[in-house]
Amino acid sequence: HCPGATALKPRASLSFFLMLQTFEVFLDSYIRLYAPKWELHPLFPSEAETILKYLVYILLSAHHVQYIQQNVTMCRVYTRYGKCYTFNGNKTTSRKTKQGGMGNGLEIMLDIQQDEYLPIWRETNETSLEAGIRVQIHSQDEPPYIHQLGFGVSPGFQTFVSCQEQRLTYLPQPWGNCRSTSKEKFPGYDTYSISACRLLCETNEVLRVCKCRMVSVTDPVCISQLQKNSGDTCPCETPCNLTRYGKELSMVKIPSKGSARYLSRKYDKSEDYIRDNFLVLDIFFEALNYETIEQKKAYDVAGLLGKICMGLFIGASILTVLEILDYIYEVQCSFKSTTHCTISSHRTRYIM
């Protein structure tokens, strides 16, 4: 289990998940790290633990690019696609970048080995016809929901993913419908998120109907069953504080005519094999800043008083106060004058 990660200052770190649809849906592929020395390291299910020792080149740049060789922990996680891996998901070993822009992020090369894909005999809801990998870039505080929120990366291309962090703040009741942090946490998750809510809801429904659970869920097997009506859905509220990453994708075809023969000799693969199975993924931040989107109240008490020209604090300008005092004085004077006239009238009648 890969623990979640807290916010970084600055937030120049992210997590992403890789899914390869290979034999037994494991990451049975070659991972290479796009560095000056192009080396491919074979990864097979029996050697999954050795992924902890593989190298990721994090490109840090001040005035020039430096390749820093680091031992990076790749955490395993089970999703709808089977076993996936996440980079930069551990709060204690999060990697940081010091500069935005291309060449200052994470670059990897993958061999998806289409020859290892299982043959398709018939179509079902889970049948996958594509070749490539699936990636999700998300906050370190939420679990992956890659089968719905991930994007695909195709072989034969180098895919550039430019990221921009966005921090969203929503209002709780009675102004909005977000879920505040004061509410109880979901079992198995440190922080509430929509992805965690959906996964827990799926777990409960599967447990209720099938008396079992999926391997990808983190909740214990023995949990209380939720009784739902047939037309009910999962009521997953939006968290009041949310971090997401906007993405812009662009692609160029690989290999070029000049590099195809070189790669073919280096990896002992045919040029057609390289075109059909090799891909390069380049993920980086557009800039080391973030965009804030905050939900505001349309009117509060102070704003309402301010709108009706009630100025400083309680809204009363000096002129308005004087006008109110003058009005009260005129009313009192008018009341005294009327009372005096009435008494004089009664006295006159008595004398007559």
Which residue type does 305 have? L
Q: pLDDT of 225-237, one tens digit each? A: 443 443 356 788 8
In which residue are the tokens 């962090």 written?
Answer: 165
Long-range contacts of 23-28 (CB under 8 A, 24+ apart): 23/116, 23/117, 23/118, 24/82, 25/81, 25/82, 25/83, 26/82, 26/83, 27/83, 27/84, 27/85, 28/113, 28/116
Q: pLDDT of 48-93, one tens digit each? A: 333 333 323 222 222 222 333 344 567 888 887 778 888 888 777 7
Domain annotation for the chain: domains and CATH numbers = 15-170+241-294 (2.60.470.10), 181-239 (1.10.287.820), 302-334 (no CATH)
**Residues in contact with 337: Cβ distance below 8 Å, sequence separation at least 6, in sequence order:** none
Mean pLDDT of the chain: 70
Tokens of 59: 């490109």
pLDDT higher than 60, residue 115: yes
**Residues in contact with 335: Cβ distance below 8 Å, sequence separation at least 6, in sequence order:** none
Q: pLDDT of 127-173, one tens digit each? A: 778 899 999 998 888 888 888 889 999 999 999 999 999 999 999 88
Most confident of 37-41, 135-139, 347-351: 135-139
**Residues in contact with 350: Cβ distance below 8 Å, sequence separation at least 6, in sequence order:** none
β-strand partners of 136 = 17
